[in-house]
Amino acid sequence: MDLLVDNTQGGWPRDADERRSGSERNRDNRWELELPADVDSVRVGRRFAAGALAEWSIRESVAADAIVIVSELLTNAVLHGAPPIALRLELTEGTLSIEVDDGDRTMPKPRRPEPNDPGGRGLLIVAALSRRWASCERRDGKTVWSSLAL
């Protein structure tokens, strides 16, 4: 059963469209959101992550990096992956972990875009902001994850 929980001040999600766009499960140190394979999921995922980071009182500079990583990983899942898509954030001692699952088993590969290429920089950005990042194959797709030092 998917639960939809309002776990942030100000009430996330803010409207019925956002409420239909995903389902979330939250524990004190782990927040998870299931999302459709839709470009609006990137915005919803950023807002969801911002709520978790605020709840955990994550330092502003780390939170800003985390939001960029969430955006890049979700964008890749929506554009290059397949449903189902899920976002997880987990807080452990000294580390913030961000994971995005999707239903495509094709592993992501960082590209070396030319200066005029309109895209291809997402994983380079994730690598630059993360302490570590990787991807792993699952039976029903893959997980791409990043960790940030707190």
Return the closest-CA partner of residue 70 out of 54, 49, 94, 53.
49
Kindly calculate the radius of gyration of the chain based on its CA atoms and give it in whole angstroms. Answer: 15
Q: What range does the domain containing 84 cover?
A: 23-149
Q: What is the pTM of this model?
A: 0.83
CB 31 within 8 A of CB 22: no
Give the number of domains in the chain. 1
pLDDT, tens digit only, all 150 positions of the chain: 222 223 333 333 333 333 334 566 777 899 999 999 999 999 999 999 999 999 999 999 999 999 999 999 999 999 999 999 999 999 999 999 999 999 999 999 888 888 988 888 999 999 999 999 999 999 999 999 999 999
Domain-located, residue 14: no
Domain-located, residue 5: no
Q: Rounded to whole angstroms, what are the CA distances from 38 to 27, 78, 79?
A: 26, 6, 8
Q: Is 10 left (phi over 0), alpha (psi -120 to 50) or beta?
A: left
